[in-house]
Amino acid sequence: MNRNIFNLTRLAPWLGLIGGLVLCCLLALFFHESPWHVFKILTTSFYNSKFDLGLTLFYTTCLIFAGLSFAVPMKAGLFHIGSEGQILFSALIGAYLGTAIVPFDNPFSFIIATAIIILSTLAAGAASALLIAAFKIFKQAHEVVVAIMLNFIFAAITTWLTVNRLQSPTSQNPETALINESFQFLKNDYLKTYFENSPVSVFLFAALGCCMILHFVERKTFIGYKIRAYGANPHAAARLGFTQNEILMISLGMAGVFSAGVGLTEVFGNTFQYKIGFSPQYGFLGIAVSLLAQQNFLGIIGSAFLMACLHKGASDLDLETEHLTRDFSRVLQAIIIFSVAASYYLAQHFAGRKRKS
């Protein structure tokens, strides 16, 4: 364990976050807005109302899953940026199965059907992530390149399927039909009611549970050490008999499952259908979430909430300011992700140089 909490490598992403925030606020000057005003909106709009807080918690749920999807492969030394494509793919599968499967009118049939849908969605996520592993194992392709191309391919496939095959007949927007009514059981769950019908749902607890389970698995079972060992030194891991294939399958498979968690949260906890463009790039925001938390599974909860607040604030800039638009919020998020990731890499780079000398 790294005992020195306040060393540069650990602090770097936070310095990056602060730097990115400052940069964003200064950028507002170009649009004749007060940086202070922008900063206030970014940091405070998440608790304007119960609904707002609920919305922020919904974002938190998605970002926890997306953050986990990045963090697990990172432990094995894999830079996994394919979460976005996996989210879209699994969400569409979930939405399709939700419309295609109609349970009989008894609780047993309903439970079986729900289980089938959830497990298939998770499996779809895992399968889409294992594609990356397959390319790496059979073609020695680099995971970053494969993942980024698959992101585009999955986006294209899901869009095509939605528009040409699964388009809701009752809507003019590009989206699928609503899932079967019996599967919309989270519509009136306790959390939703408490937060004035905002998108938040019990998936929040599932996300928190995943973080805790992973934290436990990492420290108390062998698999966590195995993955970390592979990440630290693949050659030495192979000598101990941990094969690359095994580690790739486990870490990327899990990453895919967590990506599918985002899809489930959206389709079964929020809109009950697949809408093209529903994800404001959760997959990429997840990278920043994970890096801020230094891949600490419990830390991801905090950093996901922080990024959710910023995300909420950024989307409100449109309403709360005169000149800034929705597109500007995307610019802001890109700057924040960029500066967090860049600072992480710079710190790693300098730490590596220091170690070598």
Measured from the CB atom, the residue of 155 and 351 that comes closer to another protein is 351
> In angstroms, what is the C-alpha Rg of the chain?
21
Q: How far apart are CA 97 and CA 113, in angstroms?
A: 10
Measured from the CB atom, the residue of 79 and 225 that comes closer to another protein is 225
Measured from the CB atom, the residue of 9 and 182 that comes closer to another protein is 9
Binding mask 158-197 for another protein (x = CB under 8 A): ----------------------------------------
Contacts of another protein in 219-248 (CB under 8 A): 219-222, 225-226, 228-229, 232-233, 235-237, 239-241
Contacts of another protein in 318-337 (CB under 8 A): none
Measured from the CB atom, the residue of 267 and 291 that comes closer to another protein is 291
**Cα four-point dihedral sign 28, 31, 37, 42:** negative
Which residue type, as a one-letter code, is found at position 205?
F
Number of residues that bind another protein (CB under 8 A): 20
Question: Please, are residues 191 and 204 in contact by the beta-carbon 8 Å criterion?
Answer: yes
Q: How far apart are CA 122 and CA 109, in angstroms?
A: 20
Measured from the CB atom, the residue of 63 and 291 that comes closer to another protein is 291
User: Does 1 contact another protein by CB under 8 A?
Assistant: yes
Query: H helices within the chain, ranges in order?
Result: 8-27, 35-44, 50-75, 83-100, 107-139, 143-164, 190-194, 203-220, 222-232, 234-239, 244-269, 282-292, 297-320, 326-356
With CB under 8 A as the contact rule, which of the stretches 90-98, 153-161, 164-172, 215-223 interacts with another protein? 215-223
**Cα four-point dihedral sign 18, 24, 29, 33:** negative
| Minimum distance from residue 257 beta carbon to another protein (Å) | 20
| Minimum distance from residue 235 beta carbon to another protein (Å) | 5
What residues line the site for another protein (CB under 8 A)? Answer: 1-3, 219-222, 225-226, 228-229, 232-233, 235-237, 239-241, 357
